[in-house]
Amino acid sequence: MSAPLQSLLVILGEIADLQKAAALLEWDEQVYMPPGGAATHGQMVGTVRKLAHELFVTDEVGRLLDLLKGEMAGADPDSDTARLVTVTRRDYDKARRVPADFVAEQARVLSASQQAWIEAKIANDFQRFRPHLERFIELKRRYITFFPPAAHPYDTLLDEFEPGTTTADVQAIFATLRPRQVQLIRELGARPQIEDTFLHVPYDEDRLWSFSREVVTAMGFDWTRGRQDRSAHPFATGIGSDDVRITSRHTPNEPLSLIFGSVHEAGHALYEQGLNPAFARHSLGAATSLGIHESQSRLWENLVCRSRAFWQHFYPALQERFPEQLRDVSLDRFYRAINRVRPSLIRVEADEATYNLHVMLRVELESALVEGRLEVRDLPDAWRAAMQDYLGLTPDTDSHGVLQDIHWSIGAFGYFATYTLGNLISAQLWNAFGAAHPARDVDIARGDFSALRDWLRGTVHEPGRKFLPKEVVQRATGGGLDAEPYLQYLEEKYRAVYGA
């Protein structure tokens, strides 16, 4: 190993340690921190992240990267080391473009904004949040100016979460999805509705947890390198691939949400547990994007866990645990009930068939805000109009409308599109795996997920950030981002479920 590479790895190793420490501190905040600790924790995490940033943006790192560029001149551009240098250079150039005082200002705005959003949501008063959102829009516009002009100003924001994917990519996908998803929902809405009252009654919480744990274990979650806890908002976090933690919650009278939520987070967790250990302390040892991350959680949650094959295996065990509620419910009735489509106001409660419409609405509004085509004061009206247009619903309150998501209050503009990208990619991967492994559905119906997990590990998990999201899709499927597999999956599945 060359001396510059060795020196760079020492620095990147310490940065990785700090990022992992920050991830654990943030996990703790959501899971076990006593309420009085919030201010102390905020300062701790702030300092840890700041030092990680400072260790990275030094002239020394730039000098090492310059030397390594020379060294890599003749090397295979797809070798681990060449990719490490490329990815680190990309991170470095981005990190150097954003001035320290801007980062500090953004942190101040964030702190006030998040509190204001919580209060505004509780009080159902958009005006309380409005000035903070306006400041964030200004900040985002300023942020964009630090980077070279792109085809679309929103590109710069999107690139934070989905590197290499552009607004044009997203718009093309949305143009394909929108009419067919709207059409499908109308079609299903005209059919006789599915009876699912047995899914909205009390279920014993402890039994649901133990059932969820069984499913997550069957997926291949490694409990010696991970754990599951309760939290108000479910999430997954990797403190390195040897310590990956998921959280879940039980909602009374919504028994299935604990199961689907656990499977969703375990899908994220398998990605983190499957990262290449050789990349653990440098730039390649993390998920390549939020879209690819979401493709993993959605694949397990929807393609696997909402399939008939899955429940062929698991339904008897569930029935046995909940005889009172499920004794008289056939597999077929159960399968249709868990796939009931019901347009609703709240994104996080949306079913598969309507979810993307929630996302499109947000992406369109936030890109309009960033471009100045929409003013923050007109946002609640614009939200209501779009909800009516896409889902045929109008929110009764702003709390159930424009104030429902945390993302804008923490300045995460450009994030929403990754949810829909994840959905599409999950179907593309599913088809590619099915082509490579014709026994796919037979395996699932036996509760055997080993081939799927191994295929995802090799294709998606292990490379981490070595490949850009589009490269991951290309390598796994032989093609580019494509909305068609997901649309076909939706149309075929839901027309069957609704007997249409």
Q: Per CB under 8 A, does 146 bind its own copies?
A: no
Of 227, 321, 340, 407, the one binding its own copies (CB under 8 A) is 227
Stretch of residues binding its own copies (CB under 8 A), selected from 67-75, 104-112, 126-134, 240-248: 240-248
Catalytic residue set: 265
Other beta carbons less than 10 A from residue 66's beta carbon: 12
Q: Among residues 3, 70, 101, 224, which is the contact residue for its own copies, using CB under 8 A?
A: 224
CA-nearest of 166, 171, 132 to 152 is: 166
What is the spatial distance between Cα 264 and Cα 346, in angstroms, rounded to a whole number? Answer: 18
Work out which of 12, 84, 188, 239 binds its own copies, going by CB under 8 A.
Answer: 239
Could you say which of 51, 118, 123, 368 contacts its own copies (CB under 8 A)?
51
Among 5, 7, 11, 28, binds its own copies (CB under 8 A): 28
Write the DSSP string, 401-437: TTTS-SGGGGT-TT-THHHHHHHHHHHHHHHHHHHH-
Please tell me whether residue 53 binds its own copies under the rule CB under 8 A: no
Contact 301, 272 (CB under 8 A): no
Q: CB 230 → its own copies: shortest distance, Å? A: 12
> Smallest gap, in angstroms, from Cβ of residue 31 to its own copies?
9
Q: Report whether 302 contacts 426 (CB < 8 A).
A: yes
Does residue 226 interact with its own copies by CB under 8 A? yes
Q: Which of 370, 1, 343 is nearest to 150 (CA)?
A: 370
- The structure tokens listed for 373 are 């085509």
State which residue, 212 or 426, has the beta carbon closest to its own copies: 212
> In which order are the strands placed within the sheet that holds 236-238?
226-230, 244-248, 236-238
Residue 351 interacts with its own copies (CB under 8 A): yes or no = no
Question: What's the CA gap between 312 and 444, in Å, rounded?
Answer: 9
227, β-bridge pairs: 245
Does 109 engage in binding with its own copies (CB under 8 A)? no
- The window from 204-212, 226-234, 307-315, 483-491 that contacts its own copies (CB under 8 A) reads 226-234
In this structure, the dihedral spanned by the alpha carbons of residues 268, 270, 271 and 275, taken in order and rounded to 10 degrees, is 150
Tell me which of 6, 40, 58, 193 binds its own copies, using CB under 8 A: 40
Q: Which helix (H) or strand (E) holds 134?
A: helix 126-145
Q: Which long-range contacts (CB under 8 A, 24 or more apart) does 192-195 make?
A: 192/498, 193/340, 194/336, 194/337, 194/339, 194/340, 194/497, 194/498, 195/333, 195/337
Instruction: Provide the b/e sequence for 442-473 (b: ≥16 CB within 10 Å).
Output: ebbbebebeebbebbbebbbbbbbbbbbbebb
Contact between 264 and its own copies per CB under 8 A: no
Distances (CA, A) of 463 to 280, 328, 422: 11, 47, 17
Shorter beta-carbon distance to its own copies: residue 44 or 150: 44
Nearer to its own copies among residue 249 and residue 495 (C-beta): 249
Q: Which is nearer to its own copies, 17 or 351 (CB)?
A: 17
Per the document, the length of the chain is 500
Task: Give yes or no for residue 13 binding its own copies (CB under 8 A).
Answer: yes
With beta carbons less than 8 A apart as the criterion, state whether 438 and 308 touch: no
- Residue 12 binds to its own copies (criterion: CB under 8 A): no
CB of 235 to its own copies, least distance (A): 16
Q: Is 77 in the site for its own copies (CB under 8 A)?
A: no
- Residues from 270 through 289 that contact its own copies (CB under 8 A): 280-281
Residue span 416-455 as binding mask against its own copies, x where in contact by CB under 8 A, dash where not: ----------------------------------------
**Calpha distance 60→394 (Å, rounded):** 55
- Please answer whether residues 71 and 81 qualify as being in contact, where contact means their C-beta atoms are separated by less than 8 angstroms: no
Does position 34 bind its own copies by CB under 8 A? yes
Decide: is 151 part of the binding site for its own copies (CB under 8 A): no
**Distance linking the first and last C-alpha atoms of the chain:** 62
256, amino acid identity:
L
CA dihedral 248, 299, 238, 214 (to 10 degrees): 50
* Cα 24 to Cα 244: distance, rounded to the nearest angstrom: 10
Among 39, 73, 151, 232, binds its own copies (CB under 8 A): 39
105 lines the binding site for its own copies (CB under 8 A): no
Choose which of 2, 6, 47, 253 interacts with its own copies (CB under 8 A). 47
Contacts with its own copies by CB under 8 A: the residue count is: 38
Residue 111 makes contact with its own copies by CB under 8 A: no
Select the span of 40-48, 132-140, 409-417, 458-466 touching its own copies (CB under 8 A). Answer: 40-48
Q: Is 36 in the site for its own copies (CB under 8 A)?
A: yes
If the CB atoms of residues 146 and 223 are measured against its own copies, the closer one turns out to be 223
Number of Cβ atoms within 10 Å of the Cβ of 1: 7
Q: Does 350 bind its own copies (CB under 8 A)?
A: no
**CB 307, min distance to its own copies, A:** 30
**Stretch near its own copies under the rule CB under 8 A, chosen from 35-43, 132-140, 378-386, 488-496:** 35-43
Provide the binding-site residues for its own copies, judged by CB under 8 A: 13-14, 17-18, 20-21, 24-25, 28, 32-37, 39-41, 43-44, 46-48, 50-51, 222-227, 229, 239-240, 242-243, 280-281
